[in-house]
């Protein structure tokens, strides 16, 4: 899957989980921009990604991501292993 | 973030917590962003109590809260991945948590701070005071099972309505925390603190019973409610606080909806007088239900006729 495909999938999950957020979903988007994306929301989001994309994240990875772009790079790396 | 001149105890606590846990700034900003005056006043009162309970180790409480948020995230990851709590047997919870005084102290300290940093916990204290303690008949013989950090028990010591005060806990380490808290608060009344597992409770008769954040720690919660039913007088009052979908290192029984808690209380022979459902992080109840988020479920009940 390419970056555009990954971003589209993540956008679907974000629109679902953080349904109050109306702004654009780009690589720059971070938890700070989305009111519902709190610490527990982050866990839900990442576990949803694990389930839909068949990848696994460590707790450190979950906590250290600063925006969607970084998350996408991590997913790409995991997918190419 | 808040007006410290109006809410001085809360302001001081926020400054202290943020100096130790600056990463929590944006969470705490959101936490208090929509709070109305009544909620801020309550948070200020609780902050004052926490400051006094903490006495000379407030920084330790801030550190332990920071630690606990990390522990909760780990548990949340497990819960979201597997759809169950990590532990299922009391022996495991006892071995890893209850008998370890260092762990227990950190845990109770962290939970104490959560009473003001978590929206649902602050609201639960408000409900406990207004709808339970302030409505008890005078001269109640009062029992709390699982007092932990002691905040609820302390509030009970402050009302004339409680004529006698008893607390039981399975964990000696936890009872030590409770004892220290009461002594730091300068409580001079006689409070009986005894080590009992709820399933091995001695005979007794009480007019008010508090069971806050204990039900989900049990393998057989319904049986424990039956025990409480036997201990409570016919016109006595029971207060239960049980969280739904809330993973923690020692939570065993997974309630998936607030209604499951309420109907278990009824099944044990109680009539429900009042309920409140407070979702975690102050999210709307519909959202909490839709995404299986944590919901603090509060129930005040009284024994059913003939039960
Ligand atoms: C999370 S703390 C609750 C503290 C406080 N009541 C509150 O609402 O925040 C749970 C307490 O229940 C106690 N506990 C767990 N299982 C118990 C049992 N079977 N019998 C008696 N106490 C128990 C634990 O030792 C601990 O002190």
Q: How confident is the model over B127-186, as pLDDT tens digits?
A: 999 999 999 999 999 999 999 999 999 999 999 999 999 999 999 999 999 999 999 999
pLDDT, residue B20, reads 98
Residue B26, pLDDT score: 87
Residues across chain B:
307
Residues 6+ apart with CB under 8 A from B245: B79, B254, B255, B256, B292, B293, B294, B295
CATH number at residue A34: 1.10.1200.10
pLDDT digits (tens, 9 = 90+) for A22-76: 999 999 999 989 988 888 889 999 999 999 999 999 988 888 888 999 999 999 9
CB B71 within 8 A of CB B108: no
d(CA B72, CA A5): 32
> To the nearest whole number, what is the mean pLDDT of chain B?
96
What's the ipTM? 0.92
Mean per-residue pLDDT, B215-239? 98
Q: Which atom of ligand 1 is nearest to the CA of B112?
A: 9
B21 pLDDT more than 90: yes
The rounded percent of chain B whose pLDDT value lies above 90 is 96
Alpha-carbon span A33 to B8, nearest angstrom: 30
Rounded to 5 degrees, φ, ψ at B192 are -80, 115
Q: How many domains does chain A have?
A: 1
Q: Pick from B90, B87, B204: which is nearest to B145 by CA?
A: B204
Q: Is the model's pLDDT at B189 over the cut of 70? A: yes
For residue B112, the surrounding DSSP H or E stretch is: helix B101-117
Chain A residues lying within 8 Å of B280, measured CB to CB: 40
Ligand 1, atom 6: closest residue by C-alpha:
B147
CA–CA distance, B178 with B169 (Å, rounded to integer): 10
At residue B118 the predicted structure's pLDDT band, cuts being 50, 70 and 90, is very high
Which protein residue's CA is at the shortest distance from atom 16 of ligand 1?
Answer: B217
- pLDDT band of B307, cuts 50, 70, 90: low
Mean pLDDT within B85-89: 96
pLDDT of B39 reads: 97
**Best probe residue, ligand 1, of B92, B118, B125, B214 (max atoms within 8 Å of C-beta):** B214
Q: Which chain A residues are within 8 Å of B30, Cβ to Cβ? A: 35, 38
Which one of B77, B280, B281 has the shortest CB-CB distance to A43? Answer: B77
Q: What is the pLDDT of residue A35?
A: 87
Strand B162-169 to strand B232-244: parallel, antiparallel, or no bridges (unpaired)? unpaired
Phi and psi of B247, rounded to 5°?
A: -65, 140
Asked if A38 is an interface residue toward chain B (Cβ–Cβ < 8 A), one would say: yes
* Per-residue CA distances from B143 to B53, B135, B156, B239, B289 (Å): 20, 16, 10, 10, 32
Domain of residue A18: give its range. Answer: 3-79
In this prediction the pTM is 0.95
- At residue A1, does pLDDT exceed 80? no
Q: Rounded to an integer, what distance in angstroms lies between the CA atom of residue B62 and that of residue B55? A: 13
Cβ B172 vs Cβ B105: under 8 Å: no
């Amino acid at each position: 899957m390419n970056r555009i495909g990954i971003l589209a999938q993540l956008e679907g999950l974000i629109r679902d989980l953080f349904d109050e957020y109306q702004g654009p979903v780009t690589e720059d988007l971070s938890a700070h921009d989305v009111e519902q994306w709190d610490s527990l929301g982050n866990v839900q989001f990442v576990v949803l990604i694990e389930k839909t994309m068949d990848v696994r994240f460590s707790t450190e990875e979950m906590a250290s991501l600063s925006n969607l772009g970084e998350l996408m790079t991590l997913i790409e790396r995991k997918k190419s292993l | 973030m808040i007006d410290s001149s109006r809410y001085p105890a809360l302001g001081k606590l926020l400054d202290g917590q943020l100096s130790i846990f600056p990463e929590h700034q944006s969470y705490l900003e959101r936490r208090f962003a929509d709070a109305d005056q009544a909620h801020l006043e309550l948070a200020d009162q609780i902050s004052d109590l926490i400051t006094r309970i903490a006495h000379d180790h407030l920084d330790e409480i801030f550190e332990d809260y920071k630690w606990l948020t990390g522990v909760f995230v780990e548990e949340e990851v497990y819960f979201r991945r597997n759809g169950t709590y990590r532990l299922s047997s009391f022996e495991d919870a006892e071995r890893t948590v209850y008998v370890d005084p260092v762990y227990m102290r950190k845990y109770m300290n962290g939970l104490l701070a959560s009473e003001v940093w978590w929206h649902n916990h602050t609201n639960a204290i408000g409900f406990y005071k207004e709808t339970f303690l302030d409505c008890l008949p005078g001269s109640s013989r009062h029992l709390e099972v699982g007092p932990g950090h002691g905040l609820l028990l302390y509030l009970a010591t402050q009302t004339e309505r409680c004529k006698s005060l008893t607390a039981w806990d399975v964990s000696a380490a936890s009872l030590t925390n409770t004892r220290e808290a009461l002594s730091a608060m300068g409580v001079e009344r006689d409070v009986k603190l005894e080590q009992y597992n709820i399933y091995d409770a001695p005979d007794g008769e009480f007019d008010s019973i508090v069971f806050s954040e204990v039900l989900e720690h049990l393998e057989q919660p319904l049986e424990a409610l039956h025990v409480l039913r036997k201990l409570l007088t016919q016109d006595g009052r029971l207060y239960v606080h049980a969280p739904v979908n809330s993973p923690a290192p020692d939570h065993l029984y997974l309630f998936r909806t607030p209604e499951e808690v309420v109907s278990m209380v009824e099944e044990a022979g109680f009539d429900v007088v009042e309920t409140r459902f407070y979702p975690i992080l102050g999210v709307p109840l519909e959202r909490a239900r839709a995404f299986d988020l944590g919901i603090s479920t509060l129930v005040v009940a009284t024994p059913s006729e003939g039960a």
